[in-house]
Structure 1
Amino acid sequence: MSFTSWRDVYLAAGSRGVSTCGDFLAATSLALVLQQRGHAGIAVSGLLIAAALPVAVLAPLAGRLADRADSRTLLVVAGLLQAVVAAVLAFTSRPIAMIGLVALLACGLAVTQPTLAALTPAMVRPEDLPRASGLGQVASSIGALAGPALAGLLIGTAGPRPALLLDAVSYLALVAAALLIRTRRRPHPSASSPVVPWRLRDDRTLTTLFVALFVVIAGVSAINVFEIFFVRDTLGGSATVWGLLVAAWTAGALIGSALVSRVPKRYFTGPVAVALMAALCLPIVIAGSVDNAGWLFPLWIAGGTCNGVLNVMCAVILAERVVPGARGQAYGVMNAVAQTANMLGFMVAGPLVDHFGPRLLVAACGAAGLLAALACLPMVRSAVRLAPPLAPVLGETGRAGASVEG
């Protein structure tokens, strides 16, 4: 594609923001419903696992599907099915049924995430990709901030059903955007041979980058479990302070996503991405030494800002290193890495809380991520030096071609 379709970029970003808001709206609403009805913590844990496990397991398969099928068809069908499931969820009261329906919603998310991610590079010129990816991340961050707040408002005033029905509407917004977006990825009509599967191990730079990403995400995810004990018990912060701190990291990610378009394109490299991972972990390490919850706000905003820049940088690096016809697979693998790391962080964090102090756990998680990033930095540098030129990758169309309808 030789030009940038900002209309399509804004439609895709808007749909991501609305659907992300719906996802967080539903997750927060269901967790509150289970807690209010007196269900055990295992029910809430099962809900979180149901939301993450299908994305982790199905992401590679869904990524291949994103490369083999028409992007518009995938987004419309998945969005409609998710809307139906969300509507049924609004009238469901049994925890087991809720968990099963949430897992079905996550199956749809496993398809739409790599489809949208692979579609964005097809909408823009290479030099506009950082800005386009940043817009998508900004929209997602706004949705992540708005979803929980909206859930609390609706649950408190109208009950859970309107919140879950609004989630169903958010999926219909994704369907509408898919129908309006002119850029489409679809199997190239002249290709008769099967798509060659993309393999992460064939790219040493991305392999090392993903290893570092896995460890850092696992550590940061564990912080989500330790944070409430650290803020409330160790630092004596109020429930309001804890809630604001949760939002502070997302607000930082919003800032980072908005600023990333100002970063020169030459800095979108593997070593810089790993350095950002280290910078992301440093505020968490420092947090282990503070004696007042107020100090966590600038630290969390700084970490979130690095997180926002890193998200966009990884998306751009992936788009540049993978042939267009395999980008769905690549983004699917990256989603699987992120979701698996999230689940690992949650699973490991729970038992640790009962045996170690929150301050030690917060500092240790940050230090583990920092050391992992620093250990991977020389390996990524070495891989970049040994990597072949990217010109053939950027110039190859692949089987899944992109087209724009007038």
Structure 2
Amino acid sequence: MPASSDLPLTDRIRRAAGETTGGLPRQFWWLWTSTLINKLGGFVVPFLSLYLTTSRGYPPSYAGLVAALFGLGSSISAVGAGVLTDRIGRRPTLVAAQLGTALFTAVLGFTDGQVAIAVVVFLVGLCNNATRPATSAIIADIVPPEDRVRAYSLNYWAINIGFGLSAAAAGLIATHGYLTLFLLDALSTLICAVVIFIRIPETRPAEPVGRPDEPRIGLGTVFRDTRFMTVVALNLLLALVAQQGSTTLAVDMGLAGITSVQYGLVIGLNGLLIVLLQIPLTRWMEGRDRTALLVASALFIGWGFGLTALAGSSAWFYAFTVAVWTIGEILNAPTMMGLIAELSPTHARGRYQGVYSLSWSLASFLGPAVGGVLLEWVGSTAVWGSCAVCGTVAAAGYAVLGRRPGAATAAAVPGRRNGTTAVGGPADTGPEPASAPAPASAPASAGS
């Protein structure tokens, strides 16, 4: 076979695409397709505050309260859906969450009154975020350990392609009435539920045939898993920083005299770079030290936002800062999801993914409030300086965690092998973790 550098450009692109997408199970691509469809129709959440303030005429304070209730619902469902994912299965949890999201999103379009809207938005957040633990657990169930970072990266890519296109289309659709947005969003979610129900079998491994006195893994076990909860805490720091990109950053740019058109172009750079760079950077990340990737991602995210303090009134400098933290986001997302899958014992993947998702839900609940208070009472320099500090602390935490041996904490969790929980090491190589499929006596139910 000729060397890659000797091939024509089209052949090199074709080979790279084959190496990036090849070897993944058919069920993964159905899940990927459903994710893309869902995000292509994800119109409501990004435009909810605008809908409440412009179309309904409610004050910004009410819009903020509704956003907080959405985050509260997401926080509750993160843990609850994780438990259901392990108890009743991945597919029923995911399908039920999508059906609930479709129903309440459609209902929201017809709801009137502040109390009624707040209640329905809470229910939308409750159902919407319940899909995360099940989706992540399915990927961990059906994709071999060496391919998980690549699979999570491709799924993340689909999310951003769908989000970017839906955000662009939503503005045009809203000119014909917001009700159309609600109904199309509900329809796309309903289609996802149908795809999952028809094309993806239950992937939860059968209960292992072990010793009758073998301890079961409950939520208490997850919260006592020191290494895992340290990773979740470090992720919460970065998630609080990342939340400023969709809230505080817009306000700060407005105060700096940046127009809404310029803001749209600047923030749109985030999605564009993810679409363009996610696959090439994923190929570059393969086989590299996971601790180094997590440290680098934390520094890029923290200091990318930190540099915003120097932007002044320059849209170009704001765009540069967005490019910096977007690279960190690209490095972090698949690497972290691969790590969480490895840290999760097979029969507790839903619980572990749910608690991990809780860090993002809490950030969506707390991040905008904290950023807004700092911006109003202390100033923008304090906001972006705090982001740089959080990124640096997270990077230091990953570095320390990567140097610690994993045997001590691994032994504390039933069903996990010693030595497979360290943060360090190649991102998708090494010994098979305990989260791999169960032995032949208890095969996973996912087929090829």
Q: What is the TM-score of this pair, normalised by structure 2? A: 0.81
CA distance in 2, matches of 1:177, 1:260: 30
CA distance in 1, matches of 2:374, 2:139: 40
1:300 matched to which residue of 2? 322
- Answering whether residue 102 of structure 2 is matched by residue 83 of structure 1, we say yes
> Offset of 1:118 from its aligned partner?
0.4
Correspondence for 1:31 among 30, 49, 56 = 49
1:69 matched to which residue of 2? 88
- Answering whether residue 427 of structure 2 is matched by residue 371 of structure 1, we say no
- Answering whether residue 338 of structure 2 is matched by residue 326 of structure 1, we say no
SS state at 1:376 partner: helix
SS state at 2:41 partner: helix
CA distance in 2, matches of 1:299, 1:48: 26
- Answering whether residue 446 of structure 2 is matched by residue 404 of structure 1, we say yes
Q: Is contact 2:40–2:166 with CA below 8 Å preserved after alignment?
A: yes
Provide closer, same or farther for how the CA distance between residues 33 and 4 of structure 1 changes in structure 2, counting only shifts above 3 A. same
* Worse-superposed segment, 391-400 or 167-176: 391-400
CA distance in 2, matches of 1:298, 1:289: 11
> Offset of 1:68 from its aligned partner?
1.4
Provide closer, same or farther for how the CA distance between residues 5 and 82 of structure 1 changes in structure 2, counting only shifts above 3 A. same
RCO greater where, 1 or 2, for CA within 8 Å and sep 6 or more? 1
2:259 matched to which residue of 1? 238
CA distance in 1, matches of 2:186, 2:388: 40
CA distance in 2, matches of 1:290, 1:52: 30
Q: Is contact 1:222–1:365 with CA below 8 Å preserved after alignment?
A: no
1:139 matched to which residue of 2? 158
Summarize deviations over 1:294-337 as a string: whole Å, max 9, x none: 12213212311220221111110111122221111111011101
Correspondence for 1:389 among 397, 416, 419 = 419
CA distance in 2, matches of 1:48, 1:81: 19
CA distance in 2, matches of 1:124, 1:378: 27
SS state at 2:203 partner: strand
Q: What is the TM-score of this pair, normalised by structure 1? A: 0.89
Summarize deviations over 1:126-162 as a string: whole Å, max 9, x none: 2221221111101111222223322211111x10111
1:128 matched to which residue of 2? 147
Q: Is contact 2:139–2:151 with CA below 8 Å preserved after alignment?
A: yes
> Offset of 1:91 from its aligned partner?
1.6
**Structure 2 residue runs without a partner (length 5+):** 1-21, 409-417, 421-431
Alignment RMSD, CA only?
A: 2.7
CA distance in 2, matches of 1:361, 1:253: 28
SS state at 1:404 partner: coil
Structure with bigger gyration radius: 2
Provide closer, same or farther for how the CA distance between residues 121 and 83 of structure 1 changes in structure 2, counting only shifts above 3 A. same
> Offset of 1:203 from its aligned partner?
4.3
**Structure 1 residue runs without a partner (length 5+):** none
CA distance in 2, matches of 1:146, 1:72: 27
Q: Is contact 2:81–2:130 with CA below 8 Å preserved after alignment?
A: yes
Match for 2:185: what amino acid?
D
Match for 1:309: what amino acid?
L
**Between structures 1 and 2, the one with greater helix share:** 1
* Worse-superposed segment, 127-136 or 368-377: 368-377
* Worse-superposed segment, 84-93 or 244-253: 244-253
CA distance in 1, matches of 2:401, 2:238: 15
Correspondence for 1:51 among 48, 52, 70 = 70
Provide closer, same or farther for how the CA distance between residues 242 and 257 of structure 1 changes in structure 2, counting only shifts above 3 A. same
2:194 matched to which residue of 1? 176
CA distance in 1, matches of 2:113, 2:167: 22
CA distance in 2, matches of 1:321, 1:49: 30
SS state at 1:109 partner: helix
Match for 1:107: what amino acid?
L
Summarize deviations over 1:203-237 as a string: whole Å, max 9, x none: 44433322221112212323543322332322x32
CA distance in 2, matches of 1:313, 1:109: 24
What fraction of aligned residue pairs are identical, expressed as a percent?
22
Q: Is contact 1:216–1:372 with CA below 8 Å preserved after alignment?
A: no
Q: Is contact 1:16–1:174 with CA below 8 Å preserved after alignment?
A: yes
Number of residue pairs matched by the alignment: 400
Provide closer, same or farther for how the CA distance between residues 151 and 264 of structure 1 changes in structure 2, counting only shifts above 3 A. closer
1:261 matched to which residue of 2? 282
CA distance in 1, matches of 2:288, 2:61: 44
Q: Is contact 2:98–2:190 with CA below 8 Å preserved after alignment?
A: yes
CA distance in 2, matches of 1:77, 1:378: 39
CA distance in 2, matches of 1:121, 1:306: 23
> Offset of 1:114 from its aligned partner?
0.5
Summarize deviations over 1:66-123 as a string: whole Å, max 9, x none: 0111322222222222222222222223232222112112222232110011001222
